[in-house]
Structure 1
Amino acid sequence: MRGMQADAAKRWFIGLWLALLAVKLVLAARLPLFVDEAFYWQEGRHLAWAYSDLPGLTAWLARVGDALGDGTLSLRLPFLAIAAAIPWLVARMTAREFDAKTGWQAGTLALLLPLAGTLGLLALPDVPLLLASALCVDAGLRLLRRVDGFATMELAIGLVIGGLTHYRFVAVIAVGFIALLMLRDGRTALRDPRVWIAVFAGALAWLPLVLWNLHNGDAGLRFQLVDRHPWSFSGEGLRLGRMQLLLATPVLLAAMALAAWQGLRDARPAARYLASCGSMIVLGFLVLGFFADRERVSFHWPLPGYLALLPLVPAALARWSRGWRIAAWATAACGLAAVLGYYTIASLPSLRAQTASRNFHPTNFAGWDALDAAVRRRLATMAPGTQLLAGNFKIGAELGFARDDAEIAVLEHPLNDKHGRAPQLALWGLSHSTRASLGGGPLLLVASGSDVDFRDLLAHYHALCGQVGPLPAPQVLNIDHGRQRFLLFAFDGPMRDGACTTPALAFIDAPAPSAKLARAFDVAGWAFKDGVGLRAVEVLLDGRVAAQARYGEANAGVADFWKNSTDPNHPQVYFRARIEGAPAGTHWLGLRLHGADGSVEDWPEQRIEVR
């Protein structure tokens, strides 16, 4: 009977593994490149032992994928292959320590756990990092049984992969060492010199990163440990913690918590080791969320801890009622489907645009193909030899991938520093503080209007003038109703001095976003354009002009807030309009802003409901 149950569990695992791999291959071919993936591609085109943001392995894998062919699927293939191997490793080590049925069930849980199941869809360091973690956990389990050549070799390989992947792997090393020290068999293993030879091999993997930091003023180390972290307590950690835990799915998370509790009291060293590793990693990263980086995503940090706990979960689930067991498997499957659904939305422009008013809009996937097409069309109208200048590292890397050009010049931008990419761009000679360093020829600057907080946007535009000179009228590209917004500035000569003319800024005071309105409703707000001012404002409904606004009403509050604004019309920058006979249904309300210099800029739209 036990053998039949194991065979059934094996069939479920293999069937799900094949189905999930097929889905991931299709999605990986269609999903636009995430901005970090694009930068790793760019690093892969500049091969080095280490980089300003990470050790070298992620870039090396991206280079391998790049060599396999063009497109996103080729780039992601090495990561997909690694991710596909991890559930088999989980199943194998669980079966060895417990039994075959438990092994296949643990492997299936590794497929259903949303972050683990979707691993490899993106060419990110989390993929080799999780492989390194799994290898080290498996090696630790083997060492508890017996110290031999295979166990120490596996430990060395895991430590080397981790050391070449991410600074965050230090946490896995520390937790694994503590877990071994807590066990008598672990302490015995640590007395064996072969284990320390493996540790020494793993330590050598950090040498390239140490040398890079020594030669570059500890820039990478300062970014990872100091610059990106406030190191002060914040209640925002509760939100981050909820997100970390939610992606484990609630019922499965409860099962993992119970499995950890039982494992810590288990007589078997393997169970105590897995429970210790898993719980320390998960709880450690939860606590870290209250003090560390709160601006970037961190929901993936505890994943190695979840992976260590999965071998203990089938036994914990076996003690539950049938209904709760079904709930655990079903909610995990629903969580996986939800994350795959998110990537599906990101891969389909028509679906992605519908999420423009939602917090989960996949902005960093949006519009790069449209931007590349717009840049190509604009360059075709400009003089031969026109240089391309990206407004930040995201634009430079994404356009570089689309154009197969890893040498696009990048303007200095706060984002480059925020993400630790500024030192690397400087080392490549691609970072420019002003346009003057590019010579006096024609230039197309591709900037972003959505990578800076709205309250800082005017100051950013003025800083942009300081870097490239007075800004010509921009070509505006709004993606997904303006959720992603690009500005193309064409310069036909050398950098000049002069007053700063910025892109226009606007705000709709009424109606509120997602408001429910009658078929006739009023629109009111403000708009201005530094340097020259606006001459007209039109109200758009679904991209078509619905009303001509009355522009020029006084509103001193706008100038009081934007104190550095140089629009000559202040305080007469308020507008009002009325739309009559709007059809019932969902619509997108926007503005078309006409500058006194002849510029025409469409402002991002907001969703409304007409009843």
Structure 2
Amino acid sequence: MSRTVFWITFVLVTLIRVMLAAVLPLFGDEAFYWQESQRLAAGYSDLPAGMAWLLAPPMAIFGHHLLALRLPSVVAGLVTVLLLRAFVRQHHDEAAANVAGVLALLVPIGQAVGVLAIPDAALTLALIAASLALIRAISDRRWRYWLVFALMMALAWLLHWRAAMIYFGGLLLISAHGPARRLWQDPRHWLAQLLGLLGLVPTIVFNAALDWPSVRFQAVDRHEWGFHLGGLQMPLEQALVVSPILFLAVCWAIWQQRRTVAPAVRGAIWIGLGLLLAYFAIGCFADQERTRVHWPWPAWLLLLPALALQVSRSRWRWWLMGATAVSAVPVWLGLWAMHAAPDYTQQFGKRFGANFLGYAGLAGRVRPLLDAQPGTVLIADNFLLGAQLDWYLQQRPYVLDAPRNQEHGRQVQLGIWNLDESGLRAASWQSAILVVDDSALFAADRFPFYQSLCARVGGLQWLGEHIEADTQRQFTIWRVQRGPASATACAQPILSQVFPVEVRPDLVIVGGYAVQHHGRVAAVELRLGDRVIATDHLDPAGPVIEPPWPELQDGNGEHSGFRFELAAHALPSGANAYQLIARSDDGQQRWLGEVVLTGAMVQGR
């Protein structure tokens, strides 16, 4: 295949990634990495220092912009492709190199890794460069390749603890690959390994001074280290993220390469296989909650040269590259949709949209409140919300202590910055705006959480709520007055549950409960658009409900239920989304939920 095809593909993919990097809403972890880049240090409680140091220069040069933040990842992803292409060209020919380059540019998971400001793109570049330098050092004994290997391994250790996984690939290489077995006795190999470990020094120094927070998070707190069957799904997950056709083609190419005489490519296969097997083994015991499908991305890049050698002279190369490109299109469209059609993408849940979306609109709601009273402190209820508000508002928020902070390894870091609750108590302030990600709280935890705020921050005054158009993200906004708060001076939110819609012959029943601690819910309205369809005024004759919090004191007592009985034949034709809105005596108004009704056919949502 001609170099023209490769360079056209390279330019097109570069333009797509740059465009996505410039407009894709900020991911929660990206926002926290940006916060770290504003406070450069030898290490952080979640990661080594490398990512923060990579993000700082482009932000300083190009200013506060998404593209500046993501520029290191975009560049690292593209340089990795060029490096892989040069490797194949050196050890085979340009036609195979161009095929390998095009495939590396188009693999679906690489479209996200090569855009987001997360460590994976730079880590992949470091691991690929280290692997190729090690393979070259097997046949060329000059010191330069050992030095490159050592430098790249040091960089990998500075970027992420997952640098450790490449050692499994290296172990398989020097054990199974004939030409590499001499490295067991080569002192330059072991010296280069020791030099590579110097990348751990800043992280070790940081952790040793603070009781090893990053080590505890990555090795203990994050992972239960118990076997779970979910890890066995990894081959299926990887087939999806690299595309099923490419997955099968790589497996076939690895099998075919057992008969070839390309030792450098076989070396890359051994490292890639070792890395994949290591991730598969770890995946059966490690954390299942957070997305990790992108972890093996370096392994697939190391396996692509084997495939390129097999198909570079075959007519099937065009079908393979075309199928890979087709698989990349949904990823591009999905990322673009989070910018152009966010209401559509949020329905896919937190793994796709929720950690990206909703924060810009929320910041627009909070900014006037801060501007109205200069000197007002900003408080967020968890680190992800705090980091997003910091990015959009350019005002450093304090963050309440929360299990979510601990689960993601960020609680210690907030304490180092004096932005946790201890820092809030030590600071000099009188008035604050508190923002709570209500949708991130479990239903059973909402009452104890809000009740605890009175003692933790002071008197609360309800300012409203911010709801995303798709109704999946809810934020409550409060004004906080510092000092002891009595029950009457510490407002509490309306808490509720909407029961499943009940369908009877010719009758549709919508019900639930709405309560307010140290207050009273006066009425619940059923609305269709801007029109109030029905109103249930809560009173002693209302439905008797027992909310899950016995200590909650609502003015309605046990009569806190609401109920709407609607004649099915009177419902408008088609599916219509009805909104439930509660009003309390103190003027608070809250959205309780949505039900979709259509004639006698009812679907709760």
Both proteins in one fold, TM over 0.5: yes
- Is 1:541 aligned to residue 534 of structure 2? no
Q: Could you tell me which of 57, 72, 76 is aligned with 1:64?
A: 57
Give the letter for the 1:293 counterpart.
D
Give the letter for the 1:531 counterpart.
H
Q: Could you tell me which of 334, 338, 343 is aligned with 2:330?
A: 338
Instruction: Report what 2:155 is aligned to.
Output: 161
- Is 1:371 aligned to residue 362 of structure 2? yes
Instruction: Report what 1:600 is aligned to.
Output: 589
Instruction: Report what 2:479 is aligned to.
Output: 490
Q: Could you tell me which of 103, 108, 116 is aligned with 1:114?
A: 108
Instruction: Report what 1:146 is aligned to.
Output: 140
Instruction: Report what 1:419 is aligned to.
Output: 408
Structure 2 CA distance for aligned equivalents of residues 264 and 518 of structure 1:
69
Instruction: Report what 2:348 is aligned to.
Output: 358
Report the alpha carbon displacement of residue 428 of structure 1 after superposing the two structures with TM. 1.0
C-alpha root-mean-square deviation of aligned residues, in Å?
2.8
Report the alpha carbon displacement of residue 57 of structure 1 after superposing the two structures with TM. 1.2
TM-score, with length taken from structure 1: 0.90
Report the alpha carbon displacement of residue 76 of structure 1 after superposing the two structures with TM. 1.2
Structure 2 CA distance for aligned equivalents of residues 44 and 472 of structure 1:
34
Aligned pair in 2 of structure 1 residues 408, 89: CA closer, same or farther (>3 Å)? same
What do residues 320-346 of structure 1 show as CA deviations (whole Å, max 9, x unaligned)? 884xx6664344223211111111111
Aligned pair in 2 of structure 1 residues 412, 241: CA closer, same or farther (>3 Å)? farther
Aligned pair in 2 of structure 1 residues 47, 489: CA closer, same or farther (>3 Å)? same
- Higher mean Cα deviation, 89-98 or 271-280? 271-280
Structure 2 CA distance for aligned equivalents of residues 434 and 457 of structure 1:
24
Report the alpha carbon displacement of residue 241 of structure 1 after superposing the two structures with TM. 5.3
Aligned pair in 2 of structure 1 residues 137, 493: CA closer, same or farther (>3 Å)? closer
Indicate conservation of the 8 Å contact 2:111/2:332, yes or no.
Answer: no
Instruction: Report what 2:321 is aligned to.
Output: 329
User: Identity of paired residues, percent?
Assistant: 29
- Is 1:459 aligned to residue 453 of structure 2? no
> Size of the alignment, in residue pairs?
594
Structure 1 CA distance for aligned equivalents of residues 226 and 530 of structure 2:
46
Aligned pair in 2 of structure 1 residues 233, 213: CA closer, same or farther (>3 Å)? same
- Is 1:571 aligned to residue 579 of structure 2? no
Aligned pair in 2 of structure 1 residues 130, 523: CA closer, same or farther (>3 Å)? same
- Is 1:590 aligned to residue 584 of structure 2? no
Instruction: Report what 2:45 is aligned to.
Output: 52
Report the alpha carbon displacement of residue 86 of structure 1 after superposing the two structures with TM. 1.2
Aligned pair in 2 of structure 1 residues 548, 555: CA closer, same or farther (>3 Å)? closer
- Is 1:34 aligned to residue 27 of structure 2? yes
Instruction: Report what 1:397 is aligned to.
Output: 387
Instruction: Report what 2:6 is aligned to.
Output: 13
- Is 1:532 aligned to residue 519 of structure 2? yes
Aligned pair in 2 of structure 1 residues 231, 425: CA closer, same or farther (>3 Å)? same
What do residues 488-519 of structure 1 show as CA deviations (whole Å, max 9, x unaligned)? 1102442424376532222322349xx9x999
What do residues 175-226 of structure 1 show as CA deviations (whole Å, max 9, x unaligned)? 2233123223212245333333322221111001111111111111010011
What do residues 63-103 of structure 1 show as CA deviations (whole Å, max 9, x unaligned)? 11211222111111122111121111111111222221111
Report the alpha carbon displacement of residue 111 of structure 1 after superposing the two structures with TM. 0.9
Q: Secondary structure at the match of 1:362?
A: helix
Indicate conservation of the 8 Å contact 2:346/2:357, yes or no.
Answer: no
Give the letter for the 1:303 counterpart.
W
Aligned pair in 2 of structure 1 residues 141, 520: CA closer, same or farther (>3 Å)? farther
Structure 2: gaps (5+ residues): none
Indicate conservation of the 8 Å contact 1:258/1:316, yes or no.
Answer: no
- Is 1:237 aligned to residue 226 of structure 2? no
Structure 1 CA distance for aligned equivalents of residues 195 and 229 of structure 2:
40
Structure 2 CA distance for aligned equivalents of residues 195 and 604 of structure 1:
63
Structure 2 CA distance for aligned equivalents of residues 26 and 518 of structure 1:
54
Instruction: Report what 1:226 is aligned to.
Output: 220
- Is 1:279 aligned to residue 268 of structure 2? no
Instruction: Report what 2:293 is aligned to.
Output: 299
Q: Secondary structure at the match of 1:426?
A: helix
Instruction: Report what 1:3 is aligned to.
Output: none
Aligned pair in 2 of structure 1 residues 520, 58: CA closer, same or farther (>3 Å)? farther
Structure 2 CA distance for aligned equivalents of residues 123 and 261 of structure 1:
36
Report the alpha carbon displacement of residue 579 of structure 1 after superposing the two structures with TM. 5.7
Aligned pair in 2 of structure 1 residues 544, 369: CA closer, same or farther (>3 Å)? farther
Report the alpha carbon displacement of residue 606 of structure 1 after superposing the two structures with TM. 5.7
Q: Secondary structure at the match of 1:357?
A: helix
Report the alpha carbon displacement of residue 454 of structure 1 after superposing the two structures with TM. 2.8
